[in-house]
Amino acid sequence: NAGVTQTPKFQVLKTGQSMTLQCAQDMNHEYMSWYRQDPGMGLRLIHYSVGAGITDQGEVPNGYNVSRSTTEDFPLRLLSAAPSQTSVYFCASTPVGLHYGYTFGSGTRLTVV
Amino acid sequence: DAKTTQPPSMDCAEGRAANLPCNHSTISGNEYVYWYRQIHSQGPQYIIHGLKNNETNEMASLIITEDRKSSTLILPHATLRDTAVYYCIAAGGTSYGKLTFGQGTILTVHP
């Protein structure tokens, strides 16, 4: 049982490049979310999903796309990286129906130069 | 989601109880109170949650006032490894699954 796995752990991008942050969970959780955390700040919700095929926007969705083709995976795509997207990105998952807490991944530290 | 208010920082001596307050005066009837903590730059860790009854697990206790406008997270015997940022979050109902993190409380446990 690996929990929530995020790859890569570190990434440096040039402005304008695109990339996909991977997130996978093996707990059969329906809910999955992406957050970003800027230095000295709390986490902000980017996108979330309540199940395969269903996604919705969070607080700061601009510049990011998501899809949920399977229960296990919830990738986050940066379309055209900007320095303002330099941040630590966390993926999280939780079961639906019962009020459990979210399980978070260890994060991806992204720097856009 | 109801807005929560926490003190920016608190100190605690190792071995003593750490009592972290949270104000959520606008909480609605179907919103739970969740507590998470973030150690250094790791991913947040779920601690405990409750609706209106006090709750206890192996990590902590959660005391919710009868009017549900505030709560206290209690770490009964704080250790140096409990030094972290602690977040209090109110969520539930239609916002279930969408956590809104504030600035949290930086708890520093001293030897």
Task: Note the pLDDT tens digit of each residue in B53-77.
Answer: 899 999 999 999 999 999 999 999 9
Q: For all residues of chain B together, what is the average pLDDT?
A: 92
The pLDDT, as a whole number, for residue B94 is 63
Task: Provide the shortest C-alpha distance from residue B111 to chain A (in Å).
Answer: 25
CB–CB of B102 and A101 under 8 A?
Answer: no
C-alpha span between B97 and A48 (Å, rounded) = 8
- Report residue B17: phi and psi, to 5°: -75, 135
Q: For all residues of chain A together, what is the average pLDDT?
A: 93
Task: Provide the shortest C-alpha distance from residue A5 to chain B (in Å).
Answer: 11
pLDDT band at B93, cuts 50/70/90?
Answer: low
Q: Say if residue A90's pLDDT is above 60.
A: yes
B44 three-state secondary structure: coil
Least confident of A60-69, A98-107, B32-41: A98-107
The pLDDT, as a whole number, for residue A1 is 63
CB–CB of B87 and A100 under 8 A?
Answer: no
Cβ neighbours of residue A66 closer than 8 Å, sequence gap 6 or more: A34, A46, A47, A49, A55, A74, A75, A76, A77
